[in-house]
Amino acid sequence: MSEHESAQVIPPSPSAEEYQKDSEGKPLIPDVADPIPLFRDWMAAARAAEPNDSNAMSLATVDTHGRPDVRIVLLKDISENGFAFYTNFGSVKGVQLKDNPVAALGFHWKSLRRQVRIRGVVQPVPADEADAYFASRARESRLSAIASDQSRPLPSRETFDERIAALQKEYEGRDDIPRPKTWGGYRLVPDEMEFWQDQAFRMHDRLKFVRKAGVWTHHRLYP
Ligand SMILES: Cc1cc2nc3c(=O)[nH]c(=O)nc-3n(C[C@H](O)[C@H](O)[C@H](O)COP(=O)(O)O)c2cc1C
C-alpha cells in the first residue's frame, strides 16, 4: 500500500485542539491496593459505553515453538480467582494452553480510551461451573458448541449445517443438552495487571500491579 493509499484508510494523529478537547476531565487511575475491584469498575464503565461486546478481550497464547498467537474471546466471569472464558479444548488455543498453560489478556475500550493487560497461568474451570454456564447459553449456541470441531478444517459450510440439523432433530422438544466433554472454560489467574488511561498528547497514565505470594503491589510506568 502506498503512503497515499494508507492515508485514506488510517486516521491521522489528532491535532492539538482535538487532544485538548478529548482529554478534558480525564481522571488519573486511582491508586488502589487491589486491582480486581478497579477492573470491575472499568468493566462496568465499558459496558455502559461500548456498543458491542464490552467483554471482548484478546487472548494471547504460545505454541510449543514459542510462537505467539492471539484471538478475541469473551470474558464470562471475574473474581479474585481470575478471569474465565469458554471455548473448545481441541481448538488451536486449547492445544496451546494444554502444552503451555500461560496466557495474556488484552482489553481495549475505544470509547473510553482505556486498555487493560493481564498475564498469568491458566487453569480449567471446574466441571460444575462449566455445566452451569453451558446450561445458561441459548439453545442454538449449545448445539453449535457440540457441532463445532473448532479450528479444524471444515470441508464445506453444508457439513456444519447438516451437523446442526441432525442435533436439532436429536434434541427436538428436549432441553437436556449436555455440555460436550470437548468444550469448557479456562480461568486465567493473574499475577500481573496493567491499567492504561489515555491522556492528552500521549502523556498516558499507566498503573502496573504485580502479585507475589498472594500480595498485590503497584507502581506507575512511564507512558
Ligand atoms: C467478539 C468475538 C468474541 C468471541 N468470543 C469467543 C469465545 O468466547 N470463545 C471462543 O472460543 N471463540 C470466540 N471467538 C472466536 C475466536 O476469536 C476464534 O476465532 C476461535 O476461538 C478460534 O480460535 P483458535 O483457532 O485460536 O482456537 C470470538 C470472536 C469475536 C470476534
Report residue 27 as a C-alpha cell: 481522571
Give dist(CA 182, CA 90) in Å, integer. Answer: 7
Q: What is the pLDDT of residues 182-218, one digit of tens each?
A: 999 999 999 999 999 999 899 999 999 999 999 999 9
Q: What is the pLDDT of residues 53-104, one digit of tens each?
A: 999 999 999 999 999 999 999 999 998 899 999 999 999 999 999 999 999 9
Q: Which helix (H) or strand (E) holds 87?
A: strand 82-88
Residue with the three cell numbers 479444524: 152
Q: To the nearest 10°, report the CA torsion of 109, 114, 120, 121.
A: -10
Ligand 1 centroid distance, CA of 59 (Å): 9
Ligand 1 atom at minimum distance from 151 CA: 25
* CATH class of this structure's domain 14-21+28-126+182-221: mainly beta
Ligand 1 atom at minimum distance from 91 CA: 27
> Residue 18: pLDDT above 90?
no
Looking at ligand 1, which residue's alpha carbon is closest to its atom 11? 87
Residues in the chain: 223
Determine what percent of the chain is predicted with pLDDT higher than 70: 98
- Residue ranges covered by each domain of the chain: 14-21+28-126+182-221
**Which residues are marked as active site?**
202
Mean of pLDDT values over 4-31: 84
C-alpha of 195 from chain center: 15
From the number of C-beta atoms within 10 Å of its C-beta (0-12, 13-18, 19+), residue 38 rates as buried
Give dist(CA 83, CA 1) in Å, integer. Answer: 39
Find the residues whose C-beta lies inside 6 A of ligand 1. Answer: 53, 56, 69, 71-74, 85-87, 91-93, 150-151
Give dist(CA 139, CA 100) in Å, integer. Answer: 32
How much is the pTM? 0.95
Give dist(CA 172, CA 46) in Å, integer. Answer: 38
Tell which residue, 140, 144, 123, has the closest CA to residue 187: 123
